[in-house]
Chains A and B, each alone.
Chain A
Amino acid sequence: MKFVKQVAAIAWKDILSELRTKEMLSSMLIFCLLVIVIFNIAFDPGSSYLEELVPGILWVAFTFAGTLGLNRSMISEQENGCLQGLLLCPIDSSAIYVGKLVGNILFILLAEVIILPLVAVLYNVTLLPVLVKLLVVIGLSTLGFSAVGTLLSAMAVNTRTREILLPILLFPVEVPVIIAAVKSTARILQGEPWSEFALWLKLLISFDVIFLVLCFLTFEYVIGE
């Protein structure tokens, strides 16, 4: 119960800060919008191959925007040495990790949900019949992405090249999530049933479980001296 309260306090602090500054959300949304609009200009809206490109475009936007958001979220802990302040508290470091993770997932998901209807309009994709399936894939992928990203952003934030270092560290680890997300999204947009992308879903769930546990256990060492 104590752990949950500590996690809630840290997550709530992030939510409150973000609601005031909108730094994380605005940077993610602007980036997503740019990617979607530029690809829309590049490809002819009526072309037959566009349907095959939408999953890729969607996840390019989501992953890069997510990286921006993760960076932003950890930078706020650097200002005034706030992360040190949290580390001085008599709480387990994993509470800081879970608290940050909850905030990150919430805002990355929010940006993704806002962007989805725009993708539907700009790329002429019917999302409503497949929305549940799509949200499941987005949810699982975002969880895996944020689990690793929260840990690595804490590692990268103390370096001068954090904006470059985070994607370099993050993307090789996230390859299974990105592949599974793109492949599942493609199947979903083609209107295929759950069974056709169940394997990818299993991969996403396995990745989420393994990396959540791993990151939870290693955060203390990453964030230490």
Chain B
Amino acid sequence: MAAPLIQVAGLIKNYGYIKALRGIDLELAPGDFLSLFGPNGAGKSTLIRLLSTQAKPTSGRVEIAGYNLAEDTLELRHQIGVISHASYLYNSLTALENIKLYASLYGVEKPERQARKLIEQVGLADRMHHLVRTFSRGMQQRLSIARALIHQPRIIFLDEPYTGLDQHAAHLLSELLNQLNDGERTIILITHNLNRGLALANQVAILVQGRLIYHQPRTDVNEAEFEQLYFQHVSQAGQAGSGLINQLA
């Protein structure tokens, strides 16, 4: 088995009294595609924020591609790409200008050439010189994939990328994500859509109340059983949450 590309041990994140993550342990090898499910407020986005250096952990150890999260932040950022429901694109710049900007900031050689190539790959060649504000949500999300891939990251974090997409745009996005899943990149996808998440992944996990309560290879998972298990945990989390609210009240 290949050496893990992502190693997380005892990861804890507190926001004041709120315990967002309560000790996450996770290992992913090159080529792994993990779909992470969980109810709202489970800590999924917090986990991605921590792994992508957007927030600092309260405690715990994270190593990504051999770089320590706390010590080698800038080197680590070269290894990761983030695609979120926010596109991180400037509305008043064209598609090419946006991708060229990020290419320059990532220190990519021949930024314009690389930017053009990627924009073509995500199927937006004819809109290269159009302002992003004229793009549909689906087109913005495709361009956002080009942005996240401009520096050829080995690890990709996808934080609810399907949010706000219509069926056609979501289908196009799934096709692009399938292309990203080339057996070399490690991908973590956060989604509420069980079908899409299960279709893409080779590993599935459920995060509830800051704890990774389930993590299995996709091959060991029966879709119907997983769905049942997921809803069981989500409803338990909901009951626990309402119990807490009742206690506080």
CB-based nearest B residue for A99: B105
Contacts of B131 in A (CB 8 A): 20
Q: Total interface residues on B, using CB and 8 Å? A: 31
The interface-forming segment of B50-58, B171-179, B187-195 is: B50-58
| Interface set, chain B 128-164, CB cutoff 8 A to A | 131-132, 140, 147
Q: Indicate if the CB atoms of B89 and A225 lie closer than 8 Å.
A: no
Q: How far is the CB of B127 from chain A (nearest CB, A)?
A: 16
Given A81-B84, A90-B77, the answer on whether A9 and B92 have CB atoms closer than 8 Å is no
In the complex the two chains form, is A82's CB within 8 Å of B107's CB? no
Whether A21 lies near B54 (C-beta < 8 A) is: no
Chain B residue contacts of A2, Cβ below 8 A? 107
Determine whether B37 belongs to the interface, using a CB cutoff of 8 Å to chain A: no
A84 touches B88 (CB 8 A): yes
Contact residue range for chain A?
20 to 34
Q: Which of B77, B87, B93, B97 contacts A88 (CB 8 A)?
A: B77
How far in angstroms is the closest Cβ of chain A from B103? 9
Give bound CA distance, A225 to B104, whole Å. Answer: 25
Q: Mark B65-95, 1 if CB is under 8 A from A, else 0.
A: 0000000001101101010101111111100
Complex CA distance for A17 and B131, rounded to whole angstroms: 10
State in angstroms the CA–CA spacing of A177 and B10 once bound together: 49
Q: Find B82's partner among A5, A13, A88 (CB 8 Å cutoff).
A: A88
Chain A residues whose CB sits within 8 angstroms of the CB of B107 once the complex forms: 2, 90
Residue B33 at the chain A interface, CB threshold 8 Å: no
Q: Could you tell me which residues of chain A, from 94 to 115, have a CB within 8 Å of some CB in chain B?
A: none
**Chain A's nearest CB lies how many Å from the CB of B31?**
23
Q: B101 at the A/B interface (Cβ < 8 Å)?
A: yes
Residues A90 and B90 in contact, CB atoms below 8 Å apart: no
Q: Is the CB of B90 within 8 A of A82?
A: yes
A17 to B133, CA, bound (A): 12
B30-56 contacts to A (CB < 8 Å): 52-56
A172 within 8 A of B: no
Say which residue of A5, A17, A81 sits within 8 Å of B86 (CB atoms). A81
Judge if A91 is at the interface, Cβ distance under 8 Å: yes
B230 close to A (CB within 8 Å): no
A85 touches B74 (CB 8 A): no
**Interface bits A70-100 vs B (CB < 8 Å: 1, else 0):** 0000001001111011111111100000000
Instruction: Report Cα–Cα, A225/B54, bound state, in Å.
Output: 7
Q: Is the CB of A80 within 8 A of B105?
A: no
Minimum CB–CB distance for A33 against chain B, Å: 24
Contacting pair B101 A9 (CB below 8 A):
yes
Is B106 part of the binding interface, using a Cβ–Cβ cutoff of 8 Å? yes
Instruction: Check B56–A225 contact: CB distance below 8 A.
Output: yes
> When the two chains form their complex, are residues B105 and A91 in contact, meaning their CB atoms are under 8 A apart?
yes
Q: CB-nearest residue of chain B relative to A79?
A: B91
> Nearest Cβ in chain B — how far from A76, in angstroms?
7
A82–B75 contact, CB under 8 A?
A: no
Q: Which residues of B contact A10 (CB under 8 A)?
A: 105
Provide the residues of chain A in CB contact with B104, threshold 8 Å.
Answer: 5-6, 9
* In contact, B91 and A85 (Cβ under 8 angstroms): no
Asked if A16 is at the interface (CB within 8 A of a chain B CB), the reply is yes
Instruction: Say how far A39's CB is from chain B's closest CB, in angstroms.
Output: 34
Which 10 pairs show the lowest CB-CB distances between chains A and B?
A85-B88, A81-B86, A90-B77, A89-B105, A17-B92, A9-B104, A90-B74, A80-B87, A20-B92, A21-B92
16 CB-based A-B contacts, threshold 8 Å: A6-B105, A9-B101, A10-B105, A16-B92, A16-B93, A17-B90, A79-B90, A80-B90, A81-B84, A81-B86, A85-B88, A87-B54, A88-B54, A88-B80, A89-B105, A224-B56
15 extra interface residue pairs, beta carbon distance < 8 Å, beyond A84-B84, A90-B74, A90-B107: A16-B97, A79-B90, A80-B86, A80-B88, A80-B89, A80-B140, A81-B84, A82-B89, A84-B54, A84-B86, A85-B88, A88-B54, A88-B80, A88-B88, A90-B105
